[in-house]
Structure 1
Amino acid sequence: MSQTPHFLDGNAAAGELESLFGTDMTQASGRCRGCSAEMVLAQTHAYLGGPGTVLRCPGCEGVLLRLVRSPSRMWLDAGGLAYIQMPVPA
């Protein structure tokens, strides 16, 4: 019996992140505060089944980013990331 992971890759969060940042964030990179792993957001583990979107580090499973949307507001907590680096649109 094989176990199916309960997460998707970070590409699953692309639409939510683009609606906030106005650009494709899947190739933005960051560093985990927990284990110092560096990755592009497409490589993170995305959990979408709760009240919001959660991205976790593929190395240590620490929470990197939480994004919650209501009809009138969005909340972003990226406290698990030491930084986010993204290309500047041309």
Structure 2
Amino acid sequence: MNYRLILAAGVMTSLIGATIGWGMGQVALRRQSSQVQTYVSQGYQELYGRRFLWLGALAGGLIGMGQCSVLQLKRAENREKS
């Protein structure tokens, strides 16, 4: 298995996941006036946005590394069969 390729895939997908998580955090902070809590303090806004950012990066990295590992194992299995 090529561990450098797996690590590179994990880094790239974690960047994509972090971007998606950051966007979700920004959307989640824009609450409708009909909801109960209409004001969120600045400190909580930063923590809330960072939480989504890190969760997105973690999920993206794990998914990317897992997908790359499975792809490499399938390729190795196909080489053994032929």
Which of the pair is proportionally richer in helix? 2
Place the TM-score, normalised by the shorter chain, in its bin: under 0.3
Relative contact order, higher structure (CA 8 A, sep 6+):
2
Looking at CA atoms only, which structure, 1 or 2, has the larger radius of gyration? 2
